Amino acid sequence: MNYVTFCKNYYAVTGIPTNLITEAGAIYSALSEQLHISTESPYPLYPSDYNPEFRFASPDIVYGSVQIEATGEYIILGPVFSVPVTDELVRSYMHDSATPLKYKEVIAEALASIPRLSHIQFCQHLVFLHQCVNHKEISVLKLLGQRAPQQLRQSQQHLKSITENMENKKMHNTYQFECELFQFVQNGNVNALQNFLKNNTLQLEEGRLAKTPIRHAKNLFIVTAIKTAVLGAIPGGVDIEKTYQLLDLYIQECEALQSLEKIQALQYSMILDFCQQAGETKIPAGISREVYTCMNFIRTHTNESISVNDVSDSIQKSTSYTMKKFKTELGFTIGAFITRCKLEEAKMLLTYSTKSLAEISSYLCFSSQPHFQSLFKKQYHMTPLEYRKKSGVMDTIRL
């Protein structure tokens, strides 16, 4: 089979960016071909026990891979989004793929054309691809189970039994259970939520919400989703508009399902997703929201020439106020943090990209390549080339 042609056809039919890569680099990239832009793969290959594999680049950006067992090549699907593409998402993607800022407009247009998919819908694509190229079957539930260790799968089984008992009217004390559940979502701690679902011994009771089991399960899902969004995600700091967009997507996905097992799996995925979204908004202890916003602004703009004024504008405060508050809480200046973030990004590019030192210096907006090399050596006590060789990247990288 000509897998490049296969990837091109899959992209043409589904609209999902489809890529063919090896450990030595990309063979074909749908977005690169469409936009005539060379981008680095934000999907570094590493040994994995899973094939296919489902991976988060962020809570809103997912990728998937299917290794072609006959050739060792990989078909990579993504990026795929479960929420509308915002300016923040575009910047995040460009940051991960090391795409120069001058291409932002065409990248934004291309990403906006990608169909929105829930995690279950995306996994169904990976299952189909795996069957096409490897002639093997895998369940969507098993693929979703990769999201966390065995504990997650045990929690999923536990939630399934809870749902079944709710359907059979064998449980009571729903209110107390829900209060705890939504508090875990609000706190944004996915591990704690998993432990709660695994170890919870509370009993629940739900009245019959419909005449048929499928309709009852869907109605129960909708009620649970709305409560999780309104009582968990939004109080946990998730943007209201984003929360309702996710809620609409999950309800639409649920209505399309025709089996209790898939509805229960989607319910579990939905609860974890809202919890993870809330976790992304949490601020570390001892750091104010203003300083945390500044830090996030700097981290997501390493490929731009930003100044202290830009950082203070992000929180709508004066430069003097922002500089003083940042230094007081963190112990170092805004300028030092900007440099540190750019150098950390440079380490990633030296390890995983084929960009030359001149390209990295230009991409991260250092004043010159010698200046970049000098700062790098001062920070890490080795030159960028020494770091690249030490990191063990492939020999084909352009120096």
- Domains along the sequence of the chain with CATH: 3-141 (no CATH), 148-279 (no CATH), 289-391 (1.10.10.60)
**Does position 153 have pLDDT exceeding 50, yes or no?**
no
What percentage of the chain has pLDDT greater than the value 90? 38
Distances (CA, A) of 267 to 30, 207, 358: 32, 18, 48
The tens digit of pLDDT for each residue in 256-296 reads 888 888 888 888 889 999 998 888 777 777 889 899 889 98
The answer to whether residues 110 and 35 touch, using CB atoms and an 8 Å cutoff, is: yes
Name the amino acid, one letter, at 259.
Answer: S
Dihedral over alpha carbons 128, 83, 20, 385 (to 10 degrees) = -150
Q: What does the pLDDT read at residue 155?
A: 44
Question: pLDDT band for position 202 (50/70/90)?
Answer: very low
- pTM, two decimals, is 0.58
Contacts of 199 (CB under 8 A, 6+ apart): none
pLDDT digits (tens, 9 = 90+) for 4-25: 999 999 999 999 999 999 877 7
